[in-house]
Every structure is written in structure tokens, then in C-alpha cells.
Structure 1
């Protein structure tokens, strides 16, 4: 990786920002294709908000992944400027074949595959020496561009933070956003939009009764507690923690430091009794991000809850609801909560299914493969693989793959690097790209998180090629 060059990257952000403003002033219509996960919805919404402030007409569509047919269908929508948001850099050859490069903008953070020099309006941190999997998210890159479109777009910084959290760019011991993300956090904090602190990272930190917050926490997944309010009540009671103050249920934010220590101690004891690794308990303490302009007691007040809500909207097929929330619609908050509840129940169900049915899991020398073709919705594959990768349920010295069946009948594979391999020479994006290309598929992604799609009949040879690629990377 080359030496980071923030100055050059900001110059490119300025160039693209000015191009978008120029086209908006010409009354051009924009078509935004954005990824359907939390980072993608946040990124697309940052651009949408910026265009609204410029009175520019636009269409926005959230997509699962890119392929030739999807681009062909999208191009039927009337537009003058096409923007790929939080995707596109890994599909430059496909985009070049279908789109006018001079009227195409690509704002992404995934590794670049193809001739980036063919696209004058393409920005990606990987091209400037930054790591797109931890230094800055797609929403973060979009925010850098948005700042160059209007000086008063700094309020959109919180969406960049939400996008980074949704992309789990806090995967470190402190659970903190670092790199360029930290600069955006600082800007949002200095502008009065955000507050960063250290606390227990339980879902519903300010909004849910203690037992519900503990039961609702699925990242990390706590075996025997996640999804089990009865067991959470019992654990809290054994830790001598009062659940109510008068008639009001207490929340995590109400706990004293001593109560928090007792709670973590009991969770550690629980995991030990279950025969589980203690990694999950350690990741329950870290940086928390509070959105100060959101109403206290709502799911959008905490950055991680906001990100989870967007992931829920995206993966449950409610893209428009998530985008509306990002654009300031607070009347639909109850709908978002309903979708979130369904999403979390679905995710917890998949985790229990995988943990309890060992026949779904196959281990090789370098991989743990979860075969979910007949049991896991393809839209949930990324969320399931991310959760499993930090759960401690499988060998951490092996790469994790979750296989599902895509809508078109092909096999969709979501891959994650485990804890013990994070400093290894394995680049999952390259592994997925090489193995899928040899099996009539398409793949790519970050060093630590990647994916692929291959014809279902090519799944077994694809998995063998992945195993061989991993062995080659490790010199074995």
C-alpha cells in the first residue's frame, strides 16, 4: 500500500463535488445506485440530501450487488448523471462497457479492480494509500465530496459516522473509529452534532430496559443471552442490579460504574459456564457515539443503533424507509422499529440455527464454511458472517465463509477474516476475485471482508480454489 496522501484525495473530492454542483445548476437529473447495507444507505442519503439542498432532481435505488443486467435496467431510468454510491470500484470494466465514463461518478471504498484512470470522476481511498475497510467508509468518502458541494453540509457528518459503524470499522480492541473516520468524528463533535464517550456497548443503551438491552445485543452474539430475556433477567438479578427505579425501568445509561463492572463479571462467568470464549465479553466495552440532534430515548440517538436500524431496513427490503430516516423523516420511526425488531429476531434465529446444527458447518484446513443455501436468506449473509466472525463459535485461525442461494439461483458467498488472521498475508478480496473468476463468477471486496457469486454447479470447485488460494497466501 502506498503512503497515504490525504491532500490528493481531498483535491479529488473537491473536483467531484464541483462537477456535481455544476451539473445540478444545469438542472441535470441524477440517478444514484447505492449499496443496500447501512453504509450504502447512509452514503446514498448524504448525496441525496446534498442534491435536495441544490434543488436538483434525482432518483435513488438501493441494490444488493452490481452486474451487467442490473446496470442495463438502471440505465432505462431517465438521467443525465449516474452516481455509484458505496459500490462500483470493483466493477470498473463492467461499468465502462455500459456507461459513459464522462457522465459517471463512482464514490466507493472497496478495492479497485480495473482501469480507474478511465473514470475522471472516481474517488476511492484505496487509490490514495488508505485502507477502505477501517480508515474510512463509503459514507465517509461521500461526506468528503458533500462538503465540497456546500459548506453547510457538515451536519451530514453524523451519517458518515453511522455508515462507518454499520460497516463495522470499529473492529479493534477499543471499538473505536480510527483513521479518517476519527477526523469526521472530531468534526461532528466540534460542530455540536455528536458526542463520543466510553460505555457498555449494549443495544438500546439509552432506550431499553436493562434485560431487553442485554437480550437485544447480537453484536457480539452472547450465547444463552442474546434473544433470551428470561435468562437476562436472571443474570441481572444474580449481579444484584436493580431493574427499576420507582416505576421506571432502568437503562444501561443509568448504571453506576460499579454496577457495570458486576454486569461484565457475570457475563464472563456465564460465557465460561457455557464453555464459550470470553472474546464477546471484552468487546462489550468501547467507544459510543451519541447523535445529539436526535431525541433522547429513540433508536437513532445512538450511532450503532442507528446503523443497525439502517442494516435492518436494507436487509429486510425496506430501503426507502431507511433512506427516509436518514433524510430526516421521524414520523415513520415506529415503522423502522418494527423492521428492526423483525431483523434482529431473524438474525438471532439464524445464529441459533447455526450453533445448534453443526451439520450446517464444514471445516477444512483453512476455512470454516457454513452451508446456508437452504436455510439463510441471501440478504442476511453479510450480517450473519460478520456476527459469526466475532462470536468465537468457530476456529479463529480459519477464514469464515457463509454460503446462501441468490435469487437468480447462483451461490452467494460472504467471507470474513477471523481474529487470529487479521495480520496475516491473506487478502480476502483478491482471494474471492481469483477463485470466482476461475468459476464463471464475480467476486472481490476488502482484505478482511469480501464476497462472491458463482453458478451453483461451480460452488464446490470454487470452494476448493478458495482453499488453495488461502494455502498459497499462507505459504502452506
Structure 2
């Protein structure tokens, strides 16, 4: 494998062998864009592996002695006999295929008829192999690695459990063989064999648990590898033909905002990006990186840009119209409003020059950089731009329908209109809800300051699945954003959900929100973790103030 360390390559190849050898697999994944795309990659790779193994075995056992006269009769018998099910039916079709191919190679008298029988038998074999392998692969989506999810994993009888975009922070809580974790969150180092705090007294250490996490190989988990790109490494090691899944890894990385730190994807993410580009599934362009390049009109593309905020443009539709008029850039093509990607290079360049002239150096780096287009998808759709695709997946997960998002990932360019419309509806509702929740927090002036932290408590006014996005949205437009992280609290069935977000500048000064959430949550009887720039926790109700006090103590000692 190119561009990865020998140790990582060895572990990835071993993980690929483990998946290949497993009879049945349970895939456990997170409900955000990174998790859903990870599940799509893992599911497709597992299914292809099992289809190949089953087909090869059946064809290897096939009896190829059938004559021309027997072929049609045997095929009709296989297709019509309801008592001939499962692998018996598959074996009959395999024998018909083998006999047909033998007869064609030897020059049979009725080649046309044999070819027709061969085609029917192959279609039947493909259909039944598809159904048989479906029974061997299950997917479980989880909002978080809570005690209930851990219990389900512990009690599951599958020969392999593949945990994607979750699990690293809870590794010492698993007491089960044949676990594969492909994650990028800060690992649980209780007894971790690669950590300096290694102790072999932990019970989990005796179990067969494999973990592929960029942090374990000296990489940054919030910028150099996400759940989807790490999962893709394993899929690619299973079969080089899985290169067509690299596009999903790019979508997952953009959904995790892993391109923001240095204006583009790096580390393990760049491996998936190179593969996707080489396979013709992704094209890369330096451009303004606001949301909605494919679907928003040019005016709305500029108007709703708020990360960073552009003076005279952001939240100012009139200002956007004046700019376009001054630059002599038409907003319509005939009767249709133009999107950002409808503009030619010269038009984009003129607008970009104006936008960047209004921003400082850090803001320019955030606003302009690599963008990722999926050219095999239709223009003006949510699936053609990686960020918009990721938002669609996030929408499915946030509204308790990650399965639809995964189906879109698995089907990719072959997804039907009904499936795409369902996912699009989730996205529309998601966008409206985020806007409503953000306005609610701002209009009610719920954001407060507690020493070194901005925070709000929305109680039951917004859903736990969107609080992190709302925190990020508010933080991006808050004048204190470079000085303090922000936390959002909401009530849940099992306590209080806390989501924390920060600016990269604070992380560069030493802030680690994963450690903050983990330590503060444990101090009040909860649990938490995540990344240095974004993390979360679940704590008991009534412990919010104590949690904030402990969190602030940690934050103020971390930041220079």
C-alpha cells in the first residue's frame, strides 16, 4: 500500500484477512456522515467478499457433465422447484453455468440456446448469492457508545463485529473476541499495547481486538484520518476493486470537516482522495468552500456564507445582488437561476478576489481551498458535491434513518429516484431544523459565559442529535469564537447530552476537548470523549454546573 507506514500496512492487511475469514459480520457504526459512509464501505466490502467466496466455492464444486439436451430441463427444474432452496438451488445453477461454458468452449450445435441458458443461470445465481450473503451481514447504527450499545456488542453471536467511527474510546470495556475497530477518536489507553500507560492487568487485553486508528500511528485523528478513510484502507486491502469506495471515504472526511485545517485532505484521507481521483469518481479544484456549490443559487451561496462571515455579503441578499451586478455576472441562464458551479472560471475568479479582499489571513485559509466534486452524479444534485453529499447523510442520521443514507452509499450512482428523494427530504427538514434551533438560541439570548467557556442549556427545546451542529453554527458567528470553546446542553432520556466545539486556534494553543469531556464527565458520573476540536459527553441531570466547573478548570490549565 502506498503512503502508509509498514506498521499500519501490516495491521490493515491483518484486519482484511480477519474480515475475509469471518462467516458472518455485525457492522456497528455511528449515525453521522462519517459513520454512515463508513458503514456503506464496510457493508459493500463484506458483501463482495462473501459473494466471491460463495460463488467460487459453488463453481468449484459444480458438476459440468450436463449435455445440451439436459441444460434447459435442469435450469427449469432449478427455477421452478420450491423445495430446491438455498445453496442446493445455487449449486444447481452453478452446475448449469459450468456445463454451459464447457459446451460453448467445445463448440456446441445450438450455441444461441446455450448462451441464453447460461445468461439465465448466471442471473439466477447472482440473485440468490446476493440474498444468501445478505443474511450474513447485519448493520447496527448507534448515536453513541453507551452502555446499551456496548451490551449489544458483548452479547452478539456474530463471528466478527466491525465497529466503524466508534469504539476506540471504550476499548477497555469490551470483553469479546473478534472485534475490529476502525475509528479516529482518541483511544482508551487503559492497557493499550501501543501506549506508554500499558498495563496487562486489564481483562480486555486478553481478547482478540484489532484497532486501526490514525492516532496509534502518529497521525492526527481530527485532520489526518476519519472513520470512513480508515475503514476504506481495510476495504482496499480486501480487494483492489474496492477502489470505487474511495469516493465514499472522501465524503465521510468532508462530513467530519477534516479538510479545514490545511485547506485540503491529508494523511490517510489523501490516500482515499488519490484513489477516488484515479478512478474518476472525484475531481479536485481550488475554489471558495462555502456550502451549496451545486444546489444553491449564486446569491444564496454567498448570502449564507458565515464561516467565515464576509462583510457586506453574509446574510445580505441585497449586498450579494449589488456585487454580482457590479461585476457584470448574470444570476440567470435563461429562466433558470445559476448556481456557483454554473459560473465559468473568470466569473468565479472575480467574485473570489472580492471575497478574499474582505477577509484576514486565517479567514482566507478557511474560505478558500480544495473542493471535491463527484462528477458521475448529475449536476445540480446534493450528491455531486462532497460537502452536500455529507450533509445529506448527516440529515438521514439525525432523523433516525441512517439506513437510507447507507443505502444511497451502497447504491452510489445507481440509486433510484425514490431512495434519493427520501434522503433529500431528510436534508430539507434537517436544514430547516438547524436554522430554527440556531435562531431560537440566539433570539432568546441563551448563550452565557462561565469563566473560560461559552455555553447554553436548551433543555428539551432542541434534539440531542443536532445540538453539536447548532453549537458549531453559533460559534462560527460569535465574536468570542477565537477566545473560548462553546458547549451546548440538552436533556435526553438517559441524562444530559453535552456537545463541545472549538476553533482550531485554541487547539493549537493546547486545548483538548476530548480530555475535557472525558475527565469532567467521569467526575460527575457520566462518560465522554471525541476529538481535541469537537467532543461530547452524557452526564446525569442536575450535574451540569459541577460539570462546567470541572471542565473550566481543565480548559484553563490546557490553554497557554
TM-score bracket for this pair, using the shorter chain length: 0.7 to 0.9
Paired with 1:422 and 1:150, the residues of 2 have a C-alpha distance of 38
- 2:283 pairs with 178, 195, 202, which one? 195
Root-mean-square deviation over aligned CA pairs: 2.8
Match of 1:63 in 2: 142
- 1:378 partner SS: coil
User: Is 2:438 aligned against 1:351?
Assistant: yes
CA drift of 1:165 comes to 0.4
CA drift of 1:190 comes to 1.8
CA drift of 1:60 comes to 0.6
Match of 1:285 in 2: 368
Paired with 1:435 and 1:184, the residues of 2 have a C-alpha distance of 36
Query: Structure 1 residues 78 and 229 mapped into 2: Cα distance closer, same or farther (>3 Å)?
Result: farther
CA drift of 1:226 comes to 7.3
CA drift of 1:466 comes to 0.3
CA drift of 1:263 comes to 4.0
Contact kept? 2:309, 2:477, Cα under 8 Å: yes
**More deviation in 39-48 or 252-261?**
252-261
Contact kept? 1:432, 1:451, Cα under 8 Å: yes
- 1:89 pairs with 168, 193, 201, which one? 168
**More helix by percentage:** 2
Paired with 1:230 and 1:314, the residues of 2 have a C-alpha distance of 35
Paired with 1:248 and 1:5, the residues of 2 have a C-alpha distance of 47
Query: Structure 1 residues 278 and 144 mapped into 2: Cα distance closer, same or farther (>3 Å)?
Result: closer
Match of 2:25 in 1: 30
CA drift of 1:207 comes to 3.5
- 1:108 pairs with 183, 198, 201, which one? 183
Match of 2:343 in 1: 255
- 1:391 pairs with 477, 482, 489, which one? 477
CA drift of 1:353 comes to 2.5
Q: Deviations over 1:321-374 (max 9, x none)?
A: 10011001333111111111111111122222233332x111133111122223
How many aligned positions are there?
A: 456
- 2:557 pairs with 468, 472, 475, which one? 472
Contact kept? 2:261, 2:504, Cα under 8 Å: no
Match of 1:18 in 2: 17
Contact kept? 1:32, 1:61, Cα under 8 Å: yes
The within-5 A match list for 1:363-442 is 363-408=449-494, 410-442=495-527
Contact kept? 1:220, 1:387, Cα under 8 Å: no
Q: TM-score, normalised by structure 1?
A: 0.87
Paired with 1:312 and 1:350, the residues of 2 have a C-alpha distance of 15
Contact kept? 1:405, 1:412, Cα under 8 Å: yes
Q: Deviations over 1:281-307 (max 9, x none)?
A: 763322111113222332111111111
Q: TM-score, normalised by structure 2?
A: 0.75
Query: Structure 1 residues 173 and 149 mapped into 2: Cα distance closer, same or farther (>3 Å)?
Result: closer
Contact kept? 1:67, 1:94, Cα under 8 Å: no
The within-5 A match list for 1:38-437 is 38-54=33-49, 55=51, 56=133, 57-73=136-152, 79-96=158-175, 100=176, 102-113=177-188, 114-117=190-193, 118=205, 119-172=208-261, 174=263, 176-214=264-302, 236-237=324-325, 240-257=328-345, 259-260=347-348, 263=351, 283-328=366-411, 329-331=415-417, 332-358=419-445, 360-408=446-494, 410-437=495-522
Paired with 2:157 and 2:311, the residues of 1 have a C-alpha distance of 50
Paired with 1:18 and 1:297, the residues of 2 have a C-alpha distance of 40
Larger Rg: 2
Contact kept? 2:392, 2:423, Cα under 8 Å: yes
Contact kept? 2:302, 2:320, Cα under 8 Å: yes
CA drift of 1:250 comes to 1.5
Contact kept? 1:109, 1:124, Cα under 8 Å: yes
User: Is 2:534 aligned against 1:449?
Assistant: yes
Paired with 1:445 and 1:159, the residues of 2 have a C-alpha distance of 22
Gap regions ≥5 residues in structure 1: none
- 1:460 pairs with 521, 532, 545, which one? 545
Contact kept? 1:435, 1:465, Cα under 8 Å: yes
Query: Structure 1 residues 389 and 414 mapped into 2: Cα distance closer, same or farther (>3 Å)?
Result: same
Q: Deviations over 1:195-236 (max 9, x none)?
A: 111122233323443234445656667799778878765765
Query: Structure 1 residues 265 and 256 mapped into 2: Cα distance closer, same or farther (>3 Å)?
Result: same
CA drift of 1:68 comes to 1.8
- 1:116 partner SS: coil
Contact kept? 2:186, 2:530, Cα under 8 Å: yes
- 1:152 partner SS: helix
Gap regions ≥5 residues in structure 2: 52-132, 194-204
Paired with 2:469 and 2:416, the residues of 1 have a C-alpha distance of 25
